[in-house]
Amino acid sequence: MSFEIALSGINAINAELNQISNNIANSSTYGFKSTRANFASMYAGTQPTGAEVGSMTQSIDIGGGVLTTGRGMDASIQGRGFFVTKDTSGAMLYSRVGIFSSDKSGNIIDSFGRKVQGYPTIPGSTALGGMNDLTVPTGQVAAQASTKLQYVGNLSADWTTPSVTPFNKADPLSFNGSMVSVVYDSLGSQHSVTQYFVKTASNQVTTHYTFDGTDLPSTTVLDFGTNGQLTSPTGPATIALGTPAGAAALSIDLNYTGTTQFAGEATTSVNATDGYASGTMIGVQLSEDGSVMAQYSNGQKQSVGKIALATFPNENALVSVSDTSWTTSVDSGAPLYFTPGSGMAGKLTTGALEQSNVDMTAQLVNLMSAQRNYQANTKVISTENDLVKALMQAV
């Protein structure tokens, strides 16, 4: 019986050594979680029969260090949760490794080519759809015509009424100042809108406009109070710009809210329009809230959706598989899906990766302990063998 007991101890220690070896081998593996072998005694009735590895405990709840990479499509999870991916067979796999990219078809994939799951943005809105493969549009983003122009500045109270009248854009003596803004038509072509400021009364400035150098009939009268603040107009002034060749008719709502009339230099603090030219996708980047942002050559960014994170009632019952991933088991419970930072899921740290949580010092200590136990069990077998030999020689 001593042979079998010692042999069970050796087998159990071999299983422990396999686990220690696996931990050490994965000490540099991103997102890896170490595992501990738990020994249990064996009995046949009241008769001891040795030892076995009764269970394996995963350290999923222990986070690894965070390595800053600076790469826009790398992410680590702060707290609970797993990235959700789908392999070629359609099986869901869960991982803590946040190394993502987009393939030639626009699919967001992980470093093993599996499709990342998330909540795509519904076209034409900011709402999110149901969980599915995340994809990035690979074509051009359409041009958007300008509809708004915001101008904020200080139109100097030191200005005097021009000596030359009426206003003539070709004569600088007929206006006090000017400002050029860029707008876009429905085809994405750029045009210039120039504002010419003319002091017409002590607390009044009249603005004249040109579109690509052509005078427009519209003017806007800006009235200021004795405190230098704008009193009218109180809302945007609509300026019809005409119809550029081949494009739709163009008009903008010009908002002067915040413009002042104080003594001193005339300044401009805001001169901004919406609208943009068409552009092609040049990259993809993650945000801390899990948003996948497509970047375009025209400077625009577009959210195509949010990455999903999964949590489980019993994370330690997940089953480890290749490529630093896990699958569900009966004991793990069904996954609960969230966006990063919502529900029970942690936030993301972008431009960073979670390192292995293996404590190398502890593993080496465990390795020495396992070696000592292995030698002790082999000594039992050696001693039992000597006793049997002595008994046989005495017979």
Q: What is the pLDDT along the chain (395 residues), one digit of tens a residue?
A: 677 888 888 999 999 999 999 999 999 999 999 999 999 999 998 898 999 999 999 999 999 999 999 999 999 999 999 999 999 999 999 999 999 999 988 899 999 999 999 999 987 777 899 999 999 987 788 899 999 999 999 999 999 999 999 999 999 999 999 999 999 999 999 999 999 999 999 999 999 999 999 999 999 999 999 999 999 999 999 999 999 999 999 999 999 999 999 999 999 999 999 999 999 888 899 999 999 999 999 888 889 999 999 999 999 999 999 999 999 999 999 999 999 999 999 999 999 999 999 999 999 999 999 999 989 888 888 887 777 777 777 76
| Length in residues, the chain | 395
Q: Using alpha carbons, list the distances in angstroms from residue 59 to 37, 315, 318.
A: 11, 9, 11
pTM of the prediction?
0.77
Q: Looking at the structure, do residues 350 and 360 belong to the same domain, yes or no?
A: no
Helices assigned H by DSSP within 2-123: 2-25
Alpha carbons 363 and 20: distance in angstroms, whole number: 6
Q: Looking at the structure, do residues 238 and 253 belong to the same domain, yes or no?
A: yes
Nearest to 373 by CA among 1, 23, 20: 20
User: DSSP 3-state assignment of 201?
Assistant: strand
Q: Looking at the structure, do residues 266 and 173 belong to the same domain, yes or no?
A: yes
Domain stop point among 273, 296, 317: 273
Q: What 8-state DSSP symbol labels residue 378?
A: H
Q: Looking at the structure, do residues 211 and 321 belong to the same domain, yes or no?
A: no
Q: What 8-state DSSP symbol labels residue 99?
A: B
Tokens of 224: 């200021």
Contacts of 297 (CB under 8 A, 6+ apart): 279, 280, 281, 282
Nearest to 283 by CA among 136, 110, 98: 136
Q: Looking at the structure, do residues 310 and 255 belong to the same domain, yes or no?
A: no
Alpha carbons 6 and 322: distance in angstroms, whole number: 33
Domain stop point among 273, 296, 321: 273
**Number of domains, the chain:** 3
